[in-house]
Amino acid sequence: MERQPAQIWLGTTMAGQTVTVWVSATTLHVFHRDQLIKTHPITLTPEDLAKLNTRGRPGRPSPATALPTGQLPANVMVEVDRQVNNCGMVSIAGKQISVGSPLAGKRVTLRIDTQLIHVIADGVLTGTRPSPLTQEQRRRLHGARLSGPVPGLPTRVTHVQRVVSSSGSLMAAGTKFHIGHAHRGKAVTIALEDTQFRILHQGQELATHPRPHTKEVTHTRASGHIDYET
């Protein structure tokens, strides 16, 4: 039986764009303007690769470089591929992480930094979760490789001001944060980034939270009673 051509989903934002595809017997990488945007497991025979060689050109070294054997720098992002089980969970470093029941049965890429896990399915960022992994656990992940930027969203930052309530909480972009009674009455700045919220007071970072969605901000100015002695 003749093998059917493989189809790789890159998301509607890539429609009409020219990409470069790098393949080996086991892995496919997609580049856009020299940026790695997709990694996908495949299975190709020597005959498949020979046919591709007649239509392509020699490839660069594999972009999915294995992790260095020495100390992993704290700010390095790594990625792994995992299968989502029927409950919408993936297993990583002996821990179960929920990525959502709509992804059940899919193979996803997890891009992991020091604080967050970015879940990518079919080339699209579908969610962000807090990372429970230590730096050593990240370095020892089975199948881990160095990762590029998270795809799916442009890089942008919006700053809004909020006053921490008497209960130690605040709201921004449809998300409620509890940062503790010690900060009540403070006028804080929230940096709304593509994948996370950073809460700042007088230049000091008080907390970081994953951004699970991209709901727009309805107002950017602080309101409420400010305690100027805090």
- Please give the residue that has the higher pLDDT: either 203 or 113: 113
Which range in 98-107, 116-125, 196-205 is most confidently predicted, on average pLDDT? 98-107
CA nearest 160: which of 219, 202, 220? 220
Q: How confident is the model at residue 2 (pLDDT cuts 50, 70, 90)?
A: very low
**Beta strands per DSSP E along the chain:** 20-23, 27-32, 35-41, 78-83, 89-92, 95-98, 107-112, 116-121, 124-130, 145-146, 158-163, 169-172, 175-178, 187-192, 196-201, 204-210
Mean pLDDT along residues 180-185:
86
> What is the Cα–Cα distance from 57 to 73, expressed in whole angstroms?
34
pLDDT tens by residue, 131-174: 888 888 887 887 787 776 655 444 456 788 888 888 888 888 77
Q: What is the pLDDT of residue 89?
A: 93
pLDDT tens by residue, 164-180: 888 888 888 778 888 88
What torsion, rounded to 10 degrees, do the Cα atoms 117, 89, 11, 39 define?
A: 70
